[in-house]
Structure 1
Amino acid sequence: MIKKVLSKDVEEIYALTKSCAKHLIENDIFQWNEHYPSLEVLKRDIELQQLYKLEIDNVIAGIIVLTEIEDVEYKNVKWLTENNNNLYIHRLAVHPNFQGKGYAKQLMDFAENFAKKNSYNSVRLDTFSQNLRNLKFYKNRNYKQLESIYFPKQSKFPFYCFELVLNA
């Protein structure tokens, strides 16, 4: 079941993101690190009620952020739709112990259904250019790859922006 994260979940969520960061680094994907995502970022997501969790047998297996807030890094991106009424996805993560079971797909299905139900024009996100698995995942979901943006505290490599148009 996917539902909003509660403040009592913050330590379990933080541990999940740290496990994901470690797993990525072990696979030479330098997307997340000791700076990101921070505990403060996760607490803010919870306060804004934009962080969702997927629970399997009372264990948080995955998370996803759904927000209308456009990050400053996105300001110069030439999106496919107007800059209003868009849903942004951040911090999609599935604990390494639960990967390969379709849970990322479930989280994305939830996000896209949420966007359609709430009449958003599109779903927007970014993913690390060196994470080939993620790139394939989003392209297979019909997201269009757009421009590159940079997060210097995370990597010297770019992150690619993607958009799925729902209501043009």
Structure 2
Amino acid sequence: MIRRAKPSEIVQLMAITKACAAKMAAENIFQWNDDYPTTAAFSFDVSRNELFVLLEQDTIIGCITISTFKDAEYNTINWLTEDGLNYYIHRLAIAPEFQHQGNAKKLMDFAEAFARDKNATSVRLDTFSENKRNQQFYDARGYVKLGDVYFPRQTAIPFHCYELVL
């Protein structure tokens, strides 16, 4: 089941993202660190009703932010569609013990259906340039890689931006 996150669940989501960060670091993917994701980012997502959780029975196993908020870093990208009703995906995380079981696909299927239901023009996102698995995941879903952005508080290495026209 996928539903909107509650403020009281942010601590649990932070634990999931920290576990994801540790797993990625063990695989030499230094995408997330102590500066990201943050409690403040999740709180902002909840305040905008844009943070969703994936549950298996009563256990939260993942999350995704589906936002209309465009980060300033994205202004340098030549998107396939004009700015308007576009949804941005952030903070997609699956607890390590539930990875490689189709759970990220469930969250992305949900996000894309959510955007279509709102008559959005596209779904946009970024993924770490050294995370080849994520790049293959988005390529297989029909996303088009458009350019790079940088988040210096996370890393000096770029993030690839992708867009799926709906």
Deviation, 1:118, is 0.8
User: Deviating runs (4+, > 3 A) in structure 1?
Assistant: none
Hey, what's the Cα distance between the residues in 1 that align with 2:16 and 2:138?
A: 22
Aligned residues, how many? 166
Deviation, 1:57, is 2.2
Hey, what's the Cα distance between the residues in 1 that align with 2:47 and 2:85?
A: 21
Letter in 2 for 1:61: I
Match of 2:83 in 1: 83
Deviation, 1:59, is 1.1
Deviation, 1:47, is 1.3
Q: What SS is found at the alignment partner of 2:61?
A: strand
Q: What SS is found at the alignment partner of 1:114?
A: helix
Hey, what's the Cα distance between the residues in 1 that align with 2:88 and 2:62?
A: 17
- 1:34-62, CA deviations, whole angstroms, 9 ceiling, x for partnerless residues? 10001111111111111000001211111
Letter in 1 for 2:107: L
Letter in 2 for 1:122: S
Q: What SS is found at the alignment partner of 2:82?
A: coil
- Report the TM-score, using the length of structure 1 for normalisation: 0.97
- 1:116-166, CA deviations, whole angstroms, 9 ceiling, x for partnerless residues? 111000000000000000000000000000010001111111000000001
Hey, what's the Cα distance between the residues in 1 that align with 2:53 and 2:60?
A: 6
- Report the TM-score, using the length of structure 2 for normalisation: 0.98
Gaps in structure 2 of 5+ consecutive residues: none
Q: What SS is found at the alignment partner of 1:123?
A: strand
Deviation, 1:84, is 0.7
Name which of structure 1's ranges 6-15 and 100-109 shifts more when overlaid on structure 2. Answer: 6-15
Match of 2:54 in 1: 54
Letter in 2 for 1:111: A
Match of 1:23 in 2: 23
Hey, what's the Cα distance between the residues in 2 that align with 1:30 and 1:39?
A: 19
Letter in 2 for 1:31: Q
Report 1:86-165 matches (<5 A): 86-165=86-165
Q: Percent same amino acid among aligned pairs? A: 45
Q: What SS is found at the alignment partner of 2:76?
A: coil
Letter in 1 for 2:158: P
Hey, what's the Cα distance between the residues in 1 that align with 2:49 and 2:17?
A: 18
Hey, what's the Cα distance between the residues in 2 that align with 1:120 and 1:156?
A: 32
